[in-house]
Amino acid sequence: QGQEKWPKGDEATWKAGLRGVDSDVPEITKNIVHHVQTTLARQAYNIDDMGAYQATALAVREDLIVNWNETQLTYTKKSPKRAYYLSLEFLMGRTLDNALLNLGMKDKFSEGVNKLGFNMEDVLHSERDAALGNGGLGRLAACYVDSSATCELPVWGYGLRYQYGMFQQLIAPDGSQLEAPDPWLDNSNPWEIPRLDVTVDVRFGGHAEKLEGNRGIWSGGQEVLAIAYDCPIPGSDTKSTNNIRFWSARPRRGFDLQSFNAGNYERAVETSNSAANITNVLYPNDNHYAGKTLRLQQQYFWCAASLSDIMRRFKNTGKDISEFPNLVAIQLNDTHPTLAIPELMRILVDEEDVEWNAAWDIVTRTFSYTNHTVLPEALEKWPVQIFEQLLPRHLQIIYDLNWTFLQAVAKKFPNDVAKMERMSLIEEANGRQIRMANLAVLGSFKVNGVAELHSELVRTTILKDFVDFYGISKFANVTNGITPRRWLDQCNPSLSALITETLGSRAWLKDLYLLKGLLKYEDDVAFHKKWAASKANNKQRLAAYIKSTLGVTVDPRAMFVIQVKRIHEYKRQSLNILGVIHRYLTIKAMTPEERAKVNPRVVLFAGKAAPGYWMAKLIIRLIVNVGKVINSDPDVKGVLTVLFLPDYSVSLAELLIPASDISEHISTAGTEASGTSNMKFCLNGGLLLGTVDGANIEIAEEVGEDNVFFFGHLTPAVEELRYNHRYNPIPVQEKSPALAAVLDNVMSGCYGEASIWEPFINTVRQGDYYLISDDFDSYLNAQAMVDEAYTKDPKEWIKKSINTTARMGKFSSDRAIMTYAEEIWNIEPVKI
Ligand code: CR1
SS in 3 state form for 617-676? HHHHHHHHHHHHHHHCCHHHCCCEEEEEECCCCHHHHHHHHHHCCEEEECCCCCCCCCCC
Whether residue 361 contacts residue 404, with contact meaning beta carbons closer than 8 Å, is answered with no
Taking Cα atoms as reference points, which of 77, 78, 76, 84 lies closest to residue 824?
84
Cα separations (Å) of 629 from 20, 178, 382, 765?
63, 21, 45, 24
Whether residue 822 contacts residue 815, with contact meaning beta carbons closer than 8 Å, is answered with no
pLDDT for res 164: 98
Taking Cα atoms as reference points, which of 646, 647, 687 lies closest to residue 664?
687
DSSP character at residue 812: B
Same domain assignment for residues 699 and 788: yes
Rounded to 5°, the CA angle 357-360-363 comes to 155
Q: Which of 139, 571, 583, 601 is catalytic?
A: 571
What is the C-alpha separation between 538 and 543, in angstroms, rounded? 9
Cα(571) to ligand 1 centroid in Å equals 11
Cα(580) to ligand 1 centroid in Å equals 26
Side-chain-side CA neighbours of 637 within 13 Å: the count stands at 6
Reduced to 3 DSSP states, what percent helix, strand and coil does the chain have, rounded to the nearest 5? 55, 15, 30
Told to judge if 77 belongs to the known catalytic residues of this protein, a careful annotator would answer: no
Same domain assignment for residues 552 and 442: no
Angle 754-765/573-588 helices, nearest 10 degrees? 110
Side-chain-side CA neighbours of 331 within 13 Å: the count stands at 29
Long-range pairs, 793-797, Cβ under 8 A, ≥24 = 795/528, 797/687
Same domain assignment for residues 516 and 438: no
Whether residue 348 contacts residue 359, with contact meaning beta carbons closer than 8 Å, is answered with yes
pLDDT for res 16: 92
Across the range 206-223, mean pLDDT stands at 94
Whether residue 831 contacts residue 81, with contact meaning beta carbons closer than 8 Å, is answered with no
74 strand-pairing partners = none
Q: Which of 30, 128, 372, 815 is catalytic?
A: 372
Same domain assignment for residues 261 and 181: yes
User: Helices (H), strands (E): how many in the chain?
Assistant: 36, 24
Across the range 801-810, mean pLDDT stands at 99
Kindly report the average pLDDT of the chain as a whole number: 96
Taking Cα atoms as reference points, which of 458, 377, 469 lies closest to residue 419?
469
Q: Which atom of ligand 1 is nearest to the CA of 135?
A: 14
Question: Residue 57 falls within a domain, yes or no?
Answer: no
Whether residue 607 contacts residue 564, with contact meaning beta carbons closer than 8 Å, is answered with yes
Backbone angles phi, psi at 622, to 5 degrees: -65, -45
Kindly report which listed range (128-137, 267-276, 682-691, 784-793) carries the lowest average pLDDT score. Answer: 267-276
What is the C-alpha separation between 563 and 551, in angstroms, rounded? 21
Same domain assignment for residues 399 and 254: yes
pLDDT for res 2: 44
- Pure H helices in 36-119: 49-78, 96-103, 106-115
What is the C-alpha separation between 422 and 435, in angstroms, rounded? 10
Same domain assignment for residues 331 and 448: yes
Cα(371) to ligand 1 centroid in Å equals 8
Question: Residue 61 falls within a domain, yes or no?
Answer: no
pLDDT digits (tens, 9 = 90+) for 771-798: 999 999 999 999 999 999 999 999 999 9
CATH of the domain at 475: 3.40.50.2000
pLDDT digits (tens, 9 = 90+) for 151-188: 999 999 999 999 999 999 999 999 999 999 999 999 89
Confidence of residue 253 (pLDDT cuts 50, 70, 90): low
Same domain assignment for residues 567 and 456: no
Angle 737-747/772-792 helices, nearest 10 degrees? 100
Told to judge if 799 belongs to the known catalytic residues of this protein, a careful annotator would answer: no
Cα(674) to ligand 1 centroid in Å equals 7
Question: Residue 31 falls within a domain, yes or no?
Answer: no
Taking Cα atoms as reference points, which of 747, 766, 721 lies closest to residue 578?
747
Rounded to 5°, the CA angle 530-535-537 comes to 90
Taking Cα atoms as reference points, which of 98, 87, 83, 100 lies closest to residue 134?
87
Across the range 357-384, mean pLDDT stands at 98
Residue 406 backbone zone (phi > 0: left; psi -120 to 50: alpha; other: beta) = alpha
Whether residue 706 contacts residue 789, with contact meaning beta carbons closer than 8 Å, is answered with no
Q: Which atom of ligand 1 is nearest to the CA of 375?
A: 16
By alpha-carbon position, which residue is closest to atom 9 of ligand 1? Answer: 675
Cα(751) to ligand 1 centroid in Å equals 33
The pTM for the full model equals 0.98
Ligand 1 site, CB within 6 A: 136-137, 140, 286-287, 334, 372-373, 378, 450, 480, 672-676, 694
The strand pair at 177-180 and 193-204 is best described as unpaired
DSSP character at residue 559: E
Which amino acid is located at 392 in the chain?
P
Across the range 590-602, mean pLDDT stands at 97
Cα(224) to ligand 1 centroid in Å equals 31
Cα(673) to ligand 1 centroid in Å equals 6
Across the range 312-328, mean pLDDT stands at 98
Question: Residue 46 falls within a domain, yes or no?
Answer: no
pLDDT for res 1: 41
Q: Which of 245, 435, 486, 566 is catalytic?
A: 566
Whether pLDDT at 85 is above 50: yes
Structural domain boundaries enclosing 608: 501-714+775-811
- In the three-class reduction of DSSP (H, G, I as helix; E, B as strand; rest coil), residue 736 is classed as coil
- In the three-class reduction of DSSP (H, G, I as helix; E, B as strand; rest coil), residue 769 is classed as coil
Same domain assignment for residues 354 and 473: yes
By alpha-carbon position, which residue is closest to atom 15 of ligand 1? Answer: 287
Confidence of residue 261 (pLDDT cuts 50, 70, 90): low
How many other C-beta atoms are found inside a 10 Å radius of the C-beta of residue 555?
13
pLDDT for res 332: 99
Same domain assignment for residues 440 and 551: no
Confidence of residue 574 (pLDDT cuts 50, 70, 90): very high
Told to judge if 565 belongs to the known catalytic residues of this protein, a careful annotator would answer: yes
Confidence of residue 578 (pLDDT cuts 50, 70, 90): very high
Whether residue 478 contacts residue 820, with contact meaning beta carbons closer than 8 Å, is answered with yes
What is the C-alpha separation between 12 and 10, in angstroms, rounded? 6
Same domain assignment for residues 466 and 575: no
Q: Which atom of ligand 1 is nearest to the CA of 378?
A: 15
Told to judge if 680 belongs to the known catalytic residues of this protein, a careful annotator would answer: yes
Across the range 697-721, mean pLDDT stands at 98
Taking Cα atoms as reference points, which of 581, 592, 510 lies closest to residue 779?
581
What is the C-alpha separation between 88 and 95, in angstroms, rounded? 19
Share of the chain above pLDDT 70, in %: 98
By alpha-carbon position, which residue is closest to atom 5 of ligand 1? Answer: 137
Question: Residue 100 falls within a domain, yes or no?
Answer: no
Question: Residue 39 falls within a domain, yes or no?
Answer: no
Question: Residue 358 falls within a domain, yes or no?
Answer: yes
pLDDT for res 5: 79
Q: Which atom of ligand 1 is nearest to the CA of 136?
A: 4
pLDDT for res 264: 72
Rg (CA), the chain: 28
Told to judge if 530 belongs to the known catalytic residues of this protein, a careful annotator would answer: no
Same domain assignment for residues 586 and 645: yes
Whether pLDDT at 4 is above 80: no
Cα(140) to ligand 1 centroid in Å equals 9
Taking Cα atoms as reference points, which of 390, 386, 54 lies closest to residue 208?
390
**Buried-state track 814-829, b at ≥16 Cβ within 10 A, e below 16:** bbbbbbbbeebbebee
Q: Which atom of ligand 1 is nearest to the CA of 694?
A: 8
177 strand-pairing partners = 171
Cα(450) to ligand 1 centroid in Å equals 8
- In the three-class reduction of DSSP (H, G, I as helix; E, B as strand; rest coil), residue 228 is classed as strand
Q: Which of 13, 676, 691, 804 is catalytic?
A: 676
Told to judge if 474 belongs to the known catalytic residues of this protein, a careful annotator would answer: no
With the most atoms of ligand 1 within 8 angstroms of its CB, the residue from 289, 372, 572, 697 to mutate is: 372
What is the C-alpha separation between 697 and 49, in angstroms, rounded? 44
Taking Cα atoms as reference points, which of 727, 702, 380, 373 lies closest to residue 513?
702
With the most atoms of ligand 1 within 8 angstroms of its CB, the residue from 373, 375, 458, 462 to mutate is: 373
Report how far Cα 826 is from the mean position of its chain's Cα atoms.
25
DSSP character at residue 557: T
Count structural domains, the chain: 2
Question: Residue 260 falls within a domain, yes or no?
Answer: yes
Q: Which atom of ligand 1 is nearest to the CA of 675?
A: 9
Cα separations (Å) of 226 from 526, 707, 774?
58, 50, 51
pLDDT digits (tens, 9 = 90+) for 487-528: 999 999 999 999 999 999 999 999 999 999 999 999 999 999
Same domain assignment for residues 597 and 536: yes
Q: Which of 346, 565, 800, 810 is catalytic?
A: 565
DSSP character at residue 252: P
Q: Which residues lie closer than 8 Å to 696 by C-beta, 6 or more apart?
A: 665, 672, 675, 678, 688, 690, 708, 710
Which amino acid is located at 297 in the chain?
Q
